[in-house]
Structure 1
Amino acid sequence: MSDILIEEELPPPVVRGRSLWEEAHRRLMRNPMAVASLYVVAILVLIAAFGPMLWVHKAHIIYPDRVGIGPTLQHLHILGTDTEGRDMLARLMIGLRISLLVGAAATVVALFIGVSYGAIAGFFGGALDEAMMRFVDVLYAIPFIFFVIVLMTVVQVESPEARLLLIFMAIGAVEWLTMARIVRGQTLALRRKEFVEAARAAGAKPLEIVFRHIVPNVLGPVVVFATLNIPVIILSESFLSFIGLGVQEPLASLGSLLSRGKDQIGTAPWMLWSPAMLMLVTLLALNFLGDGLRDALDPKDR
């Protein structure tokens, strides 16, 4: 009697679905310009974070015998020195650090205020929403750079570090208005969704629904806004530094370096073109990365 082999039926392979963030990552990686910009931004951040510590010259060291010399390999002043005898490459790395720090910190302030404000206004709706958004409209009528200039002029601080903190707060306090409108619109579309109704039925409090259920679902537009907002804030800080109301010595930003370089364009042009080129590369990389993130997170808008 022959043996009868019974083949066991194997269970079908489990197909793991990809989350929205994984799909966005795949779309981002297929965008060569966004990927290149991501690497450029990463390199710039590494240079800003570690460059001043690793470079042979320090940004605050003055060389009296090397005042205003052009780019040279002698003494490794590859971008020259400024009119006070300080190494320009060291100053540029410090300026890049301060500009990126201002952009990131002011964006965090703007996101914290704007996301909270817009989500609360959109979720509760009614008279509260109307009053909150009319307040935003009133603030929109005030030129934001005028508000920042007045604040920087009225509030007098002695320490350069305290002034830098004031710049974070001043720029962030006016950059949240657009974010509030974006989040409010997203919240109006989400507040009647099934997961919100389920949270209500489970006894969740209104603010708990806002910050645990609504806010995580609007992170896509928030991330895009944050990436595109950083270059805007860098330009705002550069303008303030250019007119003398931004970062003060001994600190430096790309804007303050540009301001000093324009005065020496005839005698020391490297003091102008080196911070100008670095700012151009930084802003282009951030803008291309923001565009790539926008397309990856919401491909329907392309």
Structure 2
Amino acid sequence: MDSSNRNNETNASGFIAPTSNSVEPEFELSTTPGHENVAPLAEDALITDSEPVAKAKKPRTPFQESLSRFRRDKRAMTSLIIIVLMIVIAVFGPFIYHHIGGPYKGDLSTKIIGPDLYHTFDHQELDRAHEGPSAQYWLGTDGIGRDILARLMQGMLISITLAVVVEVVDISLGITVGVLAGYYGGWIDQFLARLADLLFAFPGLLFIILVAGILGNWADDHLSVIPIVGPGGNARLLLISIVLALTAWPLMARYVRGQTLQLKEQQFIEAAKTSGTSDFTILTRHIVPNLFSIVMVASTLNITGTIIGEAGISYLGLGVQPPGASIGLMISDASQSLSAYPWELLVPSLTLVIIVLSFSFIGDGLRDAFDPHSKD
């Protein structure tokens, strides 16, 4: 029997004769009853544990990209560490400092004096005036025997607290006024713009001096009864905080207004309006969150002006009053004996310079991180 007959017999019997040139059959989806959902084996299923599948990395948001750029700014990060360290020292330092050292008997008194007393910012001993740094007084004493380190920590606390209070008011008023003026426009924009121009027309420092000079004694008599403020020369801080905030918010409102004018023309705002979203929801969920970068940068840079303003007012004798302590008041007291004891002036002046430069570098780092095109 020839080969053609053998092939016909094989095909008729329903079997495939194996040959050297036979091709392996392809797997197909079974359509027999009971096997409708059986799929062919995928190639990914053949990957063993020794061949892990690389997961797709989730893209970072613009905010995360900005934070990454800020963390790469060594100058800004160093400044941030310095500010955090100063805050920790100003808040917790006095409680620790009050327990360092032993008691002693004063030369002009038979009373035993402990560290909880001579390490306070308002305790004075005339027989210990103008002492240099020692184991008892780490940074020495001033002209009337007060601990310079204790007064410096109190001064840093005053400056940072005042800056935070002023910025809270500044941000609140600036965002509210700027967003309303930029989003609605019309007579609201005109009214708020004229109000901001009125405050801009009056010099801020002159306005602070005027208010502190006129209402300073009233603040000492009436505001000192407030539990948080209390006596001790700090009563005028509340008055100065209000005045500094009133002079600072128009600039913040102008920044926010300009940014709001750009945001309200974006497509996602138009889409929110078309879908029937209320103005309040658009402002709180779409406009205000997108103002984060400009508000943070402006407020950080404004802190430096606030700290310098408070120091200047206290230096002129219109801010914190004795026996209170502030950096400006320490500079004013030390300037009277500059030639004989320059150390007493160097310590608060250097501290003020470090605080101002640190906040300035942080502001520059935030600006470069959230607006990379600002370098161009």
Same fold at TM > 0.5: yes
Aligned mates of 1:20, 1:248 — CA distance in 2: 47
Alignment map for 1:1-302 (pairs within 5 Å)? 6-8=42-44, 13-55=55-97, 56=100, 57-73=119-135, 75=136, 77-155=137-215, 156-158=218-220, 159=224, 160-302=233-375
Aligned mates of 1:202, 1:150 — CA distance in 2: 52
Could you tell me how far 1:161 is from its partner in structure 2?
A: 4.1
What does the per-residue CA deviation read over 1:157-197, in whole Å, with 9 as the maximum and x for residues that have no partner?
12244321222111011101111110000000011222222
Aligned mates of 1:293, 1:251 — CA distance in 2: 34
Q: What secondary structure, in the 3-state scheme, does the structure 1 residue paired with 2:219 have?
A: coil
| Structure with the greater alpha carbon radius of gyration | 2
Between 18-27 and 60-69, the greater mean CA deviation after superposition? 60-69
Q: What secondary structure, in the 3-state scheme, does the structure 2 residue paired with 1:241 have?
A: helix
Residue 222 and residue 46 in structure 1: after superposition, are their counterparts in 2 closer, same or farther (change >3 A)?
A: same
Residue 16 and residue 72 in structure 1: after superposition, are their counterparts in 2 closer, same or farther (change >3 A)?
A: same
Q: What secondary structure, in the 3-state scheme, does the structure 2 residue paired with 1:174 have?
A: helix
Between 14-23 and 227-236, the greater mean CA deviation after superposition? 14-23
Could you tell me how far 1:6 is from its partner in structure 2?
A: 4.8
Between 158-167 and 288-297, the greater mean CA deviation after superposition? 158-167
Aligned mates of 1:264, 1:106 — CA distance in 2: 33
Aligned mates of 1:7, 1:248 — CA distance in 2: 80
Q: What secondary structure, in the 3-state scheme, does the structure 1 residue paired with 2:124 have?
A: coil
Aligned mates of 1:94, 1:211 — CA distance in 2: 38
Q: Higher helix proportion, which one? A: 1
Aligned mates of 2:75, 2:211 — CA distance in 1: 39
Aligned partners of 1:29 and 1:35 also within 8 Å: yes
Aligned partners of 2:244 and 2:306 also within 8 Å: yes
TM-score between both structures, scaled by the size of structure 2: 0.75
Aligned mates of 1:175, 1:139 — CA distance in 2: 9
Structure 2: gaps (5+ residues) = 1-23, 28-40, 48-52, 101-118, 225-232
Root-mean-square deviation (CA), in Å?
A: 2.2
Q: What secondary structure, in the 3-state scheme, does the structure 2 residue paired with 1:80 have?
A: coil
Aligned mates of 1:223, 1:6 — CA distance in 2: 52
What does the per-residue CA deviation read over 1:222-259, in whole Å, with 9 as the maximum and x for residues that have no partner?
00111111111000111110111111223211111111
TM-score between both structures, scaled by the size of structure 1: 0.92
Aligned mates of 2:180, 2:279 — CA distance in 1: 9
Could you tell me how far 1:61 is from its partner in structure 2?
A: 2.4
Aligned mates of 1:277, 1:228 — CA distance in 2: 19
Could you tell me how far 1:207 is from its partner in structure 2?
A: 3.5
Between 227-236 and 11-20, the greater mean CA deviation after superposition? 11-20
Counterpart amino acid of 2:318?
L
Aligned partners of 1:115 and 1:179 also within 8 Å: yes
Structure 1: gaps (5+ residues) = none
How many pairs align? Answer: 300
